[in-house]
């Protein structure tokens, strides 16, 4: 294995030439040191214990304190392009309901809270270089939002590592392909390097609520904020109960020194069965996080301006569109993994109403349907009759991208309020007034799209 001292000067020069902040350089340096140390980055089952019990949001009995809002910043992660859904712009610009995008609804959530609590609520975004311009343009119409550096800071980028010799990846045909996002754990060094963390502390902010921009259930909750402040915990993660649908995602565990997050990339193959046992490891990270900014600053000072997050290796090719191009490693971190960096960190169990992310067109299809409703405070939540369970949607692979999905629903998404599961095999077009109840599959074995006529379909397989 290449020595760190041999390759680091190449990375240091490359990142400085690119204009990376010192915090970004320090963060990547730490990640590269972990990689080249040969240290085992896995978390075996024998080294952890299941989390036995946690406080539940529904059982928290505490007086909500609106005064805390004056010391709290709401931060949305908004760096994702949604390339997996065929997008080349911020995923948060996708329409959700009534012509409104994720960003529109987030802006209206913030405006509603400002009026409801009669305070100037602090709101920010972490954008990427790819989403910054489109996002600022889209939010310009929302006049009570901040602008410029008061609205956003931009996440860092990291060099890709050549898998064979650990040198910086080079790709002259498209030099931009030599760089990658360092995972959403970059939130912390990006806050430090952009000056955002120090600026917020100077302005008197103490608490930060972080969530993903594609999760419209994750709004500022005054009861949770009051609970977090009252607990004196430096960091708190919102977790939800795992179901079989969540078994491949990361889970919360008890380590030797406190709570930790174990992602699937950190699980040895031999422990996969235990990892996926949702009756044993019962909670997953929703990526709704509460952070004490003073404690975060203290972690940086303690570790020489680095937050020592677990490092994950993501094997790729330098040009993602060319599977024959140079094999590389992308070094990534997860922001939820910071739970293992803060002594005394806590977690709280929430209901699924605070967790409705959109990762695929299956999710978007469901979210646009009548299985969800828009609340007066501009959250998009499941209808009460669904008792916390979203419809299970499995669209044909032909509809992986949003523009293809749109061709299915020229008259809008069918009624899914009473749908348990919808499977689409082959190409279809839903006419107006289609109602799906129970478990329904539509099959079209032909090449041409076929229409699903208006009417009610309940617990059946329909060959078109």
pLDDT of residue 407: 95
| Residue 434 pLDDT | 97
Give the model's pLDDT for residue 243. Answer: 85
**Contact, 112 vs 377, CB < 8 A?**
yes
Residues 251 and 272 in one domain: yes
Of 9, 18, 319, 29, nearest to 182 by C-alpha is 29
Q: What is the pLDDT of residues 406-442, one digit of tens each?
A: 999 999 999 999 999 999 999 999 999 999 999 999 9
Q: Is the pLDDT of residue 380 over 80?
A: yes
Among the three residues 303, 332, 354, which one is the final residue of a domain in this structure?
354
pLDDT of amino acid 120: 84
CB of 291 within 8 A of CB of 300? no
Enclosing domain of residue 433: 361-463
Domain count, the chain: 2
Mean of pLDDT values over 248-275: 92
The pTM score is 0.91
- Percent of the chain at pLDDT above 90? 72
Instruction: Name the least confident of 88-92, 122-126, 207-211.
Output: 88-92
Domain boundary among 337, 354, 371: 354
- pLDDT tops 80 at residue 93: yes
Same domain, 370 and 261: no
Last residue of a domain, one of 354, 369, 392: 354
pLDDT of 85 = 83
pLDDT at 91 over 80: yes
Are 34 and 161 found together in one domain? yes
pLDDT above 80: residue 116: yes
Residue 82 has pLDDT above 80, yes or no: no
CATH number where 287 lies: 3.90.550.10
Based on the domain organization, do 387 and 320 belong to the same domain? Answer: no
Cβ-contact 346, 197 below 8 angstroms: no
Read off the DSSP letter of residue 232. Answer: T
* Model confidence band, residue 144 (pLDDT cutoffs 50, 70, 90): confident
Q: Are residues 296 and 330 in the same domain?
A: yes
Residues 392, 342 share a domain:
no
Q: What is the mean pLDDT of the chain?
A: 92
What average pLDDT does this structure show over 390-416?
94
Residues 330 and 367 in one domain: no
Kindly state whether residues 322 and 402 are assigned to the same domain: no
Q: What is the pLDDT of residue 127?
A: 93
370 and 388 co-located in one domain: yes
pLDDT for 163 equals 95
Residues 345 and 421 in one domain: no
Report the pLDDT averaged over residues 444-448.
Answer: 90
Same domain, 302 and 242: yes
pLDDT at position 320:
83
Mean predicted confidence (pLDDT) in 182-186: 92
Name the more confident of 1 and 461.
461
330 and 384 fall within a common domain: no
DSSP 2-25: --HHHHHHHHHHHHHHHT--HHHH
Other C-beta atoms closer than 10 Å to the C-beta of 63 total 8
Percent of the chain with pLDDT over 70: 100
Whether residue 46 is predicted with pLDDT greater than 80 in this model: the reply is yes
Residues 324-347 pLDDT 10s: 999 999 999 999 999 999 999 999
State the distance between the two ends of the chain, measured CA to CA, in whole angstroms.
Answer: 58
Task: Name the CA radius of gyration of the chain, rounded.
Answer: 23
Query: How many angstroms separate the CA atoms of 257 and 456, rounded?
Result: 55
CATH of the domain at 425: 2.160.10.10
């Amino acid at each position: 294995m290449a020595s760190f001292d041999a390759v680091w000067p190449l990375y240091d020069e490359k990142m400085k030439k690119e204009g990376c902040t010192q915090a970004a350089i320090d963060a990547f340096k730490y990640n590269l040191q972990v990689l080249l140390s040969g240290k085992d980055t896995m978390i075996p089952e024998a080294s952890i214990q299941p989390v036995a019990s946690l406080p539940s949001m529904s059982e928290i009995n505490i007086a909500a304190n609106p005064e805390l809002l004056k010391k709290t910043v709401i931060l949305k992660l908004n760096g994702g392009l949604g390339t997996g859904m065929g997008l080349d712009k911020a995923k948060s610009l996708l329409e959700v309901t009534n012509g409104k995008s994720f960003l529109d609804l987030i802006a209206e959530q913030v405006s509603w809270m400002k009026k409801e609590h009669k305070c100037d609520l602090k709101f920010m975004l972490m954008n990427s270089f790819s989403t910054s311009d489109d996002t600022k343009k889209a939010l310009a119409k929302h006049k009570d939002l901040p602008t410029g550096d008061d609205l956003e800071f931009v996440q860092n980028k990291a060099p890709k590592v050549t898998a064979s010799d650990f040198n910086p990846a080079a790709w002259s045909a498209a030099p931009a392909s030599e760089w990658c996002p360092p995972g959403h754990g970059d939130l912390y060094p990006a806050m430090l390097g952009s000056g955002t963390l120090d600026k917020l502390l100077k302005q008197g902010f103490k608490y930060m609520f972080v969530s993903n921009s594609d999760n419209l259930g994750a709004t500022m909750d005054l009861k949770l904020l009051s609970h977090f402040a009252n607990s004196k915990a430096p960091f708190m993660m919102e977790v939800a109960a795992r179901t079989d649908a969540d078994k491949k995602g990361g889970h919360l565990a008890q380590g030797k020194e406190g709570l930790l997050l174990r992602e699937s990339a950190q699980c040895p193959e031999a422990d996969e069965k235990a990892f996926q046992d949702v009756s044993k490891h019962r909670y997953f990270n929703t990526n709704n996080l509460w952070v004490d900014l003073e404690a975060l600053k203290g972690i940086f000072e303690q570790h020489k301006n680095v937050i020592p997050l677990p490092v994950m290796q993501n094997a790729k090719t330098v040009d993602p569109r060319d599977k024959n191009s140079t094999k590389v490693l992308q070094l990534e971190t997860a922001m939820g993994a910071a739970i293992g960096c803060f002594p005394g960190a806590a977690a709280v169990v929430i209901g699924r109403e605070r967790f409705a992310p959109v990762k695929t067109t299956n999710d978007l299809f469901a979210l646009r349907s009548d299985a969800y409703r828009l609340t007066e405070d501009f959250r998009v939540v499941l209808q009460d009759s669904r008792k916390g369970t979203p419809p299970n949607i499995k669209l044909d692979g032909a509809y992986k991208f949003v523009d293809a999905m749109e061709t299915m629903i020229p008259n809008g998404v069918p009624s899914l309020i009473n749908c348990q599961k919808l499977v689409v095999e082959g190409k279809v077009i839903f006419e107006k007034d289609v109602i799906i109840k129970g478990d329904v599959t539509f099959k079209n074995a032909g090449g041409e799209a076929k229409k699903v006529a208006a009417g009610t379909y309940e617990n059946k397989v329909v060959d078109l």
